[in-house]
Structure 1
Amino acid sequence: MDIGSIAQLSTTMAETGIRQEVGMTVLKKAQDIQSSTATALIEALPPMPAAPSLPSHLGNRINTTA
């Protein structure tokens, strides 16, 4: 192996590491933005109105058998 190929390999490895770091940073930023957007959407939902005409026992159990 000559000196030139070793230097090129070292440079390539360093560039790959930097690209991975940048990619992870962009991914984390995208996840943060997505999280804040989802939170804003959930907070923007109007409160559910109560259904006064239904008996109090309805909606307390979920039938999981089909």
Structure 2
Amino acid sequence: MDIALTHSLLQIASANTQAQTAQAANVAVLKKALDVQATAAATLLDALPQPPAPNLGPLGTQLDTFA
């Protein structure tokens, strides 16, 4: 077997392994960022005041329609 060919194949395999490792790290960072954003969004939604109950008085409880 040609030594240059073997060396080239080893370089390709090494580059492929490095690319897979980098991709796995990028996915892990993306998942962490999405978790942080989800937590922040949940915190903001929890901080919103509760809307008033819809059955307070006659306003908005009847619908008049005309054909």
> Which TM-score applies when normalising by structure 1?
0.74
Quick check: 1:57 aligned with 2:62?
yes
Structure 1 alignment gaps of length 5 or more = 59-66
Quick check: 1:26 aligned with 2:46?
no
> How many matched pairs?
58
> Alpha-carbon deviation of 1:48?
1.3
> Alpha-carbon deviation of 1:47?
1.1
Structure 2 alignment gaps of length 5 or more = none
Q: Deviations over 1:3-34 (max 9, x none)?
A: 21111001000001001100110111011111
Once residues 21 and 53 of structure 2 are traced to their aligned partners in structure 1, the CA distance between those partners, rounded to angstroms, is 54
Structure with higher RCO (Cα < 8 A, 6+ apart): 2
Gap change, CA 1:14 and 1:55, over 3 Å in 2? closer
Structure 1 runs of 4+ off > 3 angstroms?
A: 50-53
The structure with the larger Rg is 2
> Which TM-score applies when normalising by structure 2?
0.73
Once residues 42 and 53 of structure 2 are traced to their aligned partners in structure 1, the CA distance between those partners, rounded to angstroms, is 23
Over the matched positions of the two proteins, sequence identity in percent amounts to 33
